[in-house]
Amino acid sequence: MQEMKIVLGENLKVEAHYKGFKILTDQPSSDGGDNSAPSPFDLFLASVGACAGYYVKAYCRQRGISEQGIHLTQTMHRDRDSKMISRIEINIVLPPDFPRQHIQSVVRAAEACTVKKHIAAAPGFVLNTTMAE
C-alpha cells in the first residue's frame, strides 16, 4: 500500500506529498485560483502524455535508436454534452531518418503506458473521513 499526503494551501492551492516530492497544484485565475501551478486535471493529462513519452524513449534506448527529434503531441477531444474528455489522441512525431521497421513497434511501446492502462481498467474509489487527534 502506498500513501500520499494532500495538504490544503492558500487560496485554491493544494499540495501532494509523495515519494519525497511536493507536487504543487492551483486553479486558473478564471476559477478563482492564482494560476501559480497546473491544476490537478492538467497534471492528470500531462501524466498520460509523459508516460507515453517515457515508453517511446525506453523503446528507443533499448534498441540504440536515436531519440533526437522525437516528440509527442496530445490532443484531448471533449464530448459536447457532458464536457468530459471522450478521447485522448497522442501523435508520436518521428524524424525523417527514424527506422521504418520500428514505427509500429514504437506505437505499441507507447500503448504500454501504465497511466493509460489504469484509465482503461479504472480503479475503484473509496472516500472516508477521520477526525484528527
Tens of pLDDT, residue by residue over 39-54, are: 999 999 999 999 999 9
47 with 90, same domain: the answer is yes
Alpha carbons 85 and 77: distance in angstroms, whole number: 6
Q: Examine residue 131 and state whether it is found in any structural domain, yes or no.
A: no
pLDDT, tens digit, 9 for 90 and up, residues 73-115: 999 999 999 999 999 999 999 999 999 999 999 999 999 999 9
Quote the domain boundaries for residue 31: 1-37
Q: What is the CATH number of the domain that holds 58?
A: 3.30.300.20
Q: Give CA angle at 59 (66, 51), nearest 5°.
A: 110
Name the pTM for this structure: 0.90
